[in-house]
A = this chain, B = another copy of it.
Amino acid sequence: MVRVAVDAMGGDYAPGAIIRGGLDAIKKFEVSLLFVGQSDRIQAELTHHKFNRSRIEVVHADEIIEMDESPAVAIRKKKNSSISVGINLLKEGRADAFFSAGNTGGVVCAATLFLGLLETIERPGIAIVMPNLKGVSLIIDGGANIDPKPLHLLQYGIMGSAYYEQILGKMNPSVGLLNVGEEESKGPDFVKETYQLLERSPVNFIGNIEGKDIFSGHCDVIVCDGYVGNVTLKVSESMAETLAFFLKQELLSSIWGRFGLLFAKKSFRNFKKKIDYSEYGGAPLLGVNGIVIIGHGRSSSKAVMNAIRFAKEEVERNINQNIMEQVKKALVDQSVNKA
Contacts and interface: CB of A to CB of B under 8 A. Distances in A.
Interface of A: 68, 70, 132-133, 143, 146-147, 178-180, 182-183, 185, 187-189, 191, 210-216, 224, 226-228, 230-243, 245-247, 250-251, 253-254, 256-257, 259-268, 270-271, 274-275
Nearest to A210: B234
Given A146-B188, A212-B238, A178 B231 contact: yes
A188 B238 contact: no
A130 to B, nearest CB: 10
Contact of A238 (B146, B147, B213, B234): B213
A265 B146 CA distance: 44
The count of identical subunits is: 2
A108 to B, nearest CB: 12
A9 B211 CA distance: 25
B230 A216 contact: no
B232 A232 contact: yes
A178 to B, nearest CB: 6
B230 A231 contact: no
Nearest to A245: B133
A27 to B, nearest CB: 29
B238 A214 contact: yes
B251 A264 contact: yes
A261 B232 CA distance: 30
Given A226-B180, A231-B228, A260-B262, A238 B216 contact: yes
A147 B188 contact: yes
Contact of A264 (B188, B238, B256): B256
A69 to B, nearest CB: 9
A246 B187 CA distance: 31
B267 A257 contact: yes
A224 B188 CA distance: 14
